[in-house]
Structure 1
Amino acid sequence: MMDIAAFHYIANEQARKANPDKTQVRSMDRQATEQVKRFHKSFPEYEPTPLHSLKALSRKLNVGAIWIKDESYRFGLNAFKVLGGSYAVGKYLAKRLNMDISEITFEKLQMPEIKERLGELTFVTATDGNHGRGIAWAANRLGQKSVVFMPKGSSAARLYNIRKEGAEASITELNYDDTVRLANRYAAEHNGVLIQDSAWEGYEEIPTWIMQGYSTLINETMEQIKADGQNAPTHVFLQAGVGSFAASVLGYYVAEFGDDRPATIIVEPSEAACIYKSATENDGKPHAVTGDLPTIMAGLACGEPSTVAWGILRDYADMYISCPDAVSAKAMRMLGNPLPGDPQIISGESGAVGLGVLSLIQEEQALREVGERLQLNEKSRVLIISTEGDTDPEGYRDIVWNGKYPSF
């Protein structure tokens, strides 16, 4: 049996209670998300990523359906992050041009006369890999520069892929949050433009745009489910680093469905569970986790919640869970070696953890109370978003081939 001593959860008893002071989600309403999708559809590389149905696994785990949204196909970059970064870049450039984003297409931004009006810009960011690669990709295609800083311990493969997109990139000796501060200082000192999904007082506009950018993937997902003649999910598991991705999807569901939204479970690695810690403090404020944040889930190794995301996660999420790395590793193996009839999905460390948590809840007798609280049963329709593929191929093989981080 898997050691579940490091598995912790807390239910949000206020999530479904009416409260006029709850954080507003107007930035994630239908009009906003459709505008975002129109912008992304102007990219030559745009096409919806696959939504897989795991029918055999759903039977094994005793739920009605399991859907996996596979972001490894996004723009050929093996991860979803480019959605947020590219939209934020588009919004920034539109504002600089005194235009509305609805007037902007990716092709228009590449026009020589537009480039001449904008001048030479440098986009700066901190990243574990996926976000930085997306910023580098967007900047490169728009003829602009990018500078990317990565926290210590970052994958050499991810660094290579960022440099391959034309960025000036380096790995620091700092943890993620201190690397963000380094990027912020660099941007200020070199007249750069910081494009970061972390948010703090005085820096919230661009992180909000990034969150809006992520909405394309959940917009696609709901269209795909509807086109297949299926009902909406009853449960959604969302992994969190600073919380921007999770808050984007949850904000979409709140804006679109209100109290009829799916039960939303926020999942984090035990060593970097800043959202879980904030929820347990019970004072409504975001709280940081400090230190080196050692976890295989590099995309979630963040110690400080985004101030923009935290309000949404605090007010509307139904449960917060922190779990050990072995939970994600098990799910990577499950997806890479599926049951007969189910598709194979290559999911990275940060992408697979939601499925790992679902399987643990459904299979471990000691966690029966969690499933009961969430009303997970044979009629439940569960959505999980695999946010990345094997962005660190060597690390992926260590887990899937060599059995690193075993379940037993």
Structure 2
Amino acid sequence: MPDQPQAASTPRLSRRQLLAATAASGLALPAWAQFRVEIAGVGTAQMPISIPSFLNESVAGQAVAAIVKADLERSGQFRVIDAAAPLSETSQPAFADWRARNVDALAGGSATRLADGRIDLRFKLWDVVKGADLGGESHAVHPDDVRLAAHRIADTIYQKLTGERGVFATRMAYVTKTGGRYRLLITDADGEGGQESLTSVEPIISPAWAPDGKEIAYVSFEARKAVIWSQNLSTGARRQLAAFRGSNSAPAYSPDGSQIAMTLSREGGSQLFIINRNGGEPRRLTQSSAIDTEPVFSPDGRSIYFVSDRGGAPQIYRMSSSGGGVERVTFTGSYNISPAISPDGRTLAYITRTSGNFKLCVMDLASGTVNQITDTLDDESPSFSPNGRLLVYATRSGGRESLMTTTLDGKIKAKLIASSADMREPTWGPFGR
């Protein structure tokens, strides 16, 4: 889309800083730069698995086995044992040899270029301990979709071995800043394969996925004020959802996708409102003299978690999604913001301020037990994977902003590293693609 006029100043605007500031007062574009993933940490009960290079993998144009391995390592459930020689799905593994290497599961595959130019990726999974064939599958895809097919292979392996649905073929949205230009990117769950949904010289913040994965809402400052937009990810078509007097911020879709909660200052102060997905007149949810912001729905749609300073400092509260019945949720620490709720509704992730530093915490909502799971100093914007097993968040380290994924116990972390852009405001998309 056309460039917007350059503002006199375009400071970093995160949800955290938007809260502080309030308290004080087209079409898809070319692919984004590739990432590399750094994985650190050791889990307590990881399954040892080996995934040798696929036979004839070079015809795929991607290191398919390496993509699958990185996905599984990032989940925290697997420990990858390297193998020197390629292994295809038609091989007859010598299980005794693999058991001697302490391998519990083994996957092999191949890549073939079809006459129509598509790439046929095939794989098979074996239980080495039992010497059993666990089945496999085939993906005949356009060369541009090889990475996605690799993620789907990782999802199949993950589900067969854990009994839970994998998230590697899902998508992620986040914002980058390079110089004075902001970009809203939609990428694979590992941060690669990105395309720009919006580019602007004005800040873009608070992206939020529709539960069907077909639309994303976000806040753009193109009009020199905070305005909420929604965008169809297939067509690139955009429309304004909220451009009322004052600030319009922090959109969050209801679980059924029919409504969007948001923070508006149209009536003075920052209060929570709800509006139909197709627009219309918003309905006010909170009636306080405090700042109420950052709403997020519980998975059953009955409750909304939000941040308020009604107790004197920002804390996380919960209320009925129809309004009323407000109760405080966080009591550990004097400054807690950016709530995210796990898909099963049992875990709250949020950012706490400790000695001037911002760190990611998770709370078991039934017991109230809180664990700080990061050792970085400037974390923000946590978001759960759709299976609830991982979190993505933004952090600042070495003067750069980057994205991290982590297991809920904080033991396995993966840093997604780009060559030139600062990355922020991540949000993990739903299942389905």
> What's the TM-score, normalizing by structure 1?
0.26
Larger radius of gyration: 2
Query: Going by fraction, where is strand more abundant, 1 or 2?
Result: 2
Query: Going by fraction, where is helix more abundant, 1 or 2?
Result: 1
> What's the TM-score, normalizing by structure 2?
0.25
Higher relative contact order (CA 8 A, sep 6+): 1
